[in-house]
């Protein structure tokens, strides 16, 4: 904080400069002025916060000087110092907004006390202004956020938003029609947590310098309303601004740009478009400027994990090799993200179907009914939100399923038998021999056959046949497949032999079973 002394008497100027330790008071002493005219010439340039001035000076006196200072710098605190104990002068000085009135005979302590009073007035005023600015800024941001979300504002609230945009150069005079557009911006490249927050703040500051705009800083993005049109937030202008930010801050920036609108009343539509585009951030690798035309052709990719991928997943979960599972997940996610037709909705649906496939496998491997895990409502829903690494989220989920199965198996006496059972249940549509299953669990066929019967109470053939009939019953009950197709799904080429085996285990032919199941549900 700076103080200027104004007095025509050199001895007074020198005394005030040397007797009082202004630095100790937290004040920077400027070069004293010899008269009011000199002070008025220097004040606009040097901007003192406090002026300590004599009242009786040739030319402009202290009262006139106070009047002029209040015109050019209303926030300046003025202390009058005079040798005349004249109450009329004091009254006039106070009317001109003078902070204090002291006699030249006042001791250093009184002068210091008066200077500190002036300093406190300024500090209090700054703090009040700061609070008002914070409150006004918070109100403006709150109103803008509500407006973009489609909330109806009163006329005065909308006027506050528009005055903010005018202050920032986003809009011009009332007669000037200025196009606007909503933007949602993300940035990456500085890491996570606090550094990510710092990066967003730095990006917001740079964009404020490069684009006439008002902004809302969120935890993971920046929302801007920018002036559109040539030279501003049209695509080429945005791309120039993004390149500048990326080069300066060494980061990647993604901008979802809603279409230009003619007035602030239409901003909710532009913001809705920006939100729709922003959902594609990960699919577009989180960099560059994206507009509606860039995603218009995307109709949606695969939403269901195909049978061959589900079988491959089952093999990997059974194999219990995390690195192989990681490569599998990486391939699946990359293939989906590289598909030019994929949308955020179709990608989430596909990843959820892979998660469901994993849960189904775990239920089958643990001995659950072949169809009991098939209903999505019975499988935990997974978010696969844009803010997370899709690969990491899916891998962690599948790895937990794999670990849960193998931890359960390691706690049993014949863990290899239970791994064999899970292996069998995944291959009921194939010609599955005892030798193949024994090889999978690294046992000789004879040793495996004996251990299998001790643990299950059934021979290998009896168990496989039973599992095939259980699966066939579920398929008959839940699908319209032909009997021949059902037989193929459980490993039988001979339909007649399949029907005989099915009746032996259920007491009904396949057709009778399907009919009775249909009657039960009606």
pLDDT confidence of residue 48: 93
- Environment class of 2 (CB within 10 Å of its CB; exposed 0-12, middle 13-18, buried 19+): middle
Of the pLDDT bands very low, low, confident and very high (cuts 50, 70, 90), residue 499 is very high
Confidence of residue 89 (pLDDT cuts 50, 70, 90): low
Choice between 110 and 156, residue whose per-residue pLDDT is larger: 110
State the SS3 of 120-182.
Answer: HHHHHHHHHHHHHHHHHHHHHHHHHHHHHCCCCCCHHHHHHHHHHHHHCCCCCCCCCCCCEEE
Rounded to an integer, the average pLDDT of 483-488 is: 93
Is pLDDT at 205 greater than 50 in this prediction? yes
Instruction: Give the Cα separation of 210 and 243 in Å (integer).
Output: 11
- Domain spanning 178-295: CATH 3.40.50.11820: no
Per-residue confidence (pLDDT) for residue 411, from 0 to 100: 58
Cα distance between residue 95 and residue 516, in whole Å = 103
- pTM reported for the whole predicted model: 0.59
Quick one: fold of 2-125? Rossmann fold (3.40.50)
Q: Does 194 score more than 60 pLDDT?
A: yes
pLDDT digits (tens, 9 = 90+) for 325-361: 999 999 999 999 889 999 999 998 999 999 999 988 8
Domain layout of the chain by residue ranges: 2-125, 178-295, 297-411, 416-522
Q: Domain 416-522 classified CATH 1.10.10.60?
A: yes
- pLDDT for 376 equals 40
Q: 3-state SS of the chain: helix, strand, coil percent to 5?
A: 60, 10, 30
For 103, the token pair is 């006699």
Q: What is the pLDDT of residue 284?
A: 85
Q: How confident is the model at residue 144 (pLDDT cuts 50, 70, 90)?
A: confident
Q: For residues 102 and 459, which has the higher predicted lDDT (pLDDT)?
A: 459
304, burial (CB in 10 Å: exposed 0-12, middle 13-18, buried 19+): middle
Unique residue bearing structure tokens 């496998």: 361
Q: What is the mean pLDDT of residues 429-447?
A: 90
- Predicted pLDDT of residue 393: 87
pLDDT band at 410 (very low <50, low <70, confident <90, very high): low
List Cα–Cα distances, 246 to 188, 191, 202, 501, in angstroms.
10, 15, 11, 69
Dihedrals phi, psi of 195, to nearest 5 degrees: -65, -35
244-298 residue pLDDT tens? 999 999 999 999 999 999 888 889 999 999 999 999 998 888 889 999 999 999 9
Residue 379 has pLDDT above 60, yes or no: no
Percent of the chain at pLDDT exceeding 90: 40
Instruction: At 226, give phi and psi (nearest 5°).
Output: -120, 155
Is the pLDDT reported for residue 370 higher than 60?
no
Share of the chain above pLDDT 70, in %: 88
């Amino acid at each position: 904080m700076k103080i200027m002394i104004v007095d025509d008497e050199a001895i007074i100027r020198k005394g005030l400069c040397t007797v009082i330790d202004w630095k100790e008071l937290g004040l920077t002493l400027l070069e004293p002025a010899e008269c009011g005219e000199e002070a008025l010439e220097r004040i606009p340039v040097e901007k003192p916060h406090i002026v300590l001035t004599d009242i009786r000076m040739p030319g402009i006196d202290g009262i006139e000087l106070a009047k002029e200072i209040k015109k050019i710098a209303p926030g300046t605190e003025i202390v009058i110092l005079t040798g005349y104990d004249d109450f009329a002068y004091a009254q006039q000085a106070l009317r001109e907004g003078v902070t204090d009135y002291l006699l030249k005979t006042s001791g250093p302590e009184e002068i210091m006390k008066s200077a500190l009073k002036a300093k406190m007035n300024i500090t209090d005023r700054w703090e009040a202004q700061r609070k008002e600015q914070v409150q006004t800024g918070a109100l403006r941001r709150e109103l803008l956020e509500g407006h973009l979300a489609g909330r109806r504002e009163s006329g005065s609230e909308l006027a506050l938003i528009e005055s903010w945009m005018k202050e920032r150069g986003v809009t011009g005079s009332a007669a000037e029609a200025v196009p606007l557009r909503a933007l949602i911006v993300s940035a990456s490249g500085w890491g996570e947590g606090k550094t990510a927050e710092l990066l967003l703040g730095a990006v917001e500051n740079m964009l404020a310098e490069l684009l006439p705009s008002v902004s809302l800083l969120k935890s993971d993005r920046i929302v801007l309303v920018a002036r559109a049109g040539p030279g501003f937030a049209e695509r080429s202008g945005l791309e120039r601004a993004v390149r500048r930010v990326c080069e300066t801050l060494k980061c990647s920036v993604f901008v979802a740009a809603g279409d230009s609108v003619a007035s602030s009343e239409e901003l909710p539509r532009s913001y809705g478009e920006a939100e729709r585009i922003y959902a594609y951030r990960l699919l577009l690798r989180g960099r560059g400027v994206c507009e509606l035309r860039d995603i218009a052709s995307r109709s949606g990719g695969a939403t269901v994990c195909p049978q061959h991928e589900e079988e491959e997943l089952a093999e990997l979960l059974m194999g219990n090799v995390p690195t192989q599972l990681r490569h599998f997940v990486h391939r699946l996610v990359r293939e989906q993200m590289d598909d030019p037709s994929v949308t955020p909705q179709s990608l989430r649906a596909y990843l959820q179907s892979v998660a469901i496939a994993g849960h189904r496998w775990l239920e089958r491997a643990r001995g659950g009914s072949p169809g009991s895990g098939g209903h999505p409502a019975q499988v935990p829903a997974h978010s696969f939100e844009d803010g997370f690494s899709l690969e990491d989220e899916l891998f962690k989920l599948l790895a937990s399923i794999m670990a849960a199965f193998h931890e359960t198996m390691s706690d049993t006496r014949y863990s290899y038998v239970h791994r064999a059972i899970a292996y069998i249940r995944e291959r009921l549509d194939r010609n599955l021999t005892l030798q193949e299953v024994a090889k999978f669990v690294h046992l000789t066929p004879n040793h495996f056959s004996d251990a299998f019967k001790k643990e299950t109470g059934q021979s290998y053939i009896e168990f496989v046949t039973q599992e095939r009939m259980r699966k066939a019953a579920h398929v008959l009950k839940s699908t319209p497949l032909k009997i021949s197709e059902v037989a193929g799904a459980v490993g039988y080429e001979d339909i007649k032999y399949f029907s005989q085996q099915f009746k032996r285990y259920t007491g009904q032919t396949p057709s009778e079973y399907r009919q009775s199941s249909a009657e039960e549900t009606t």
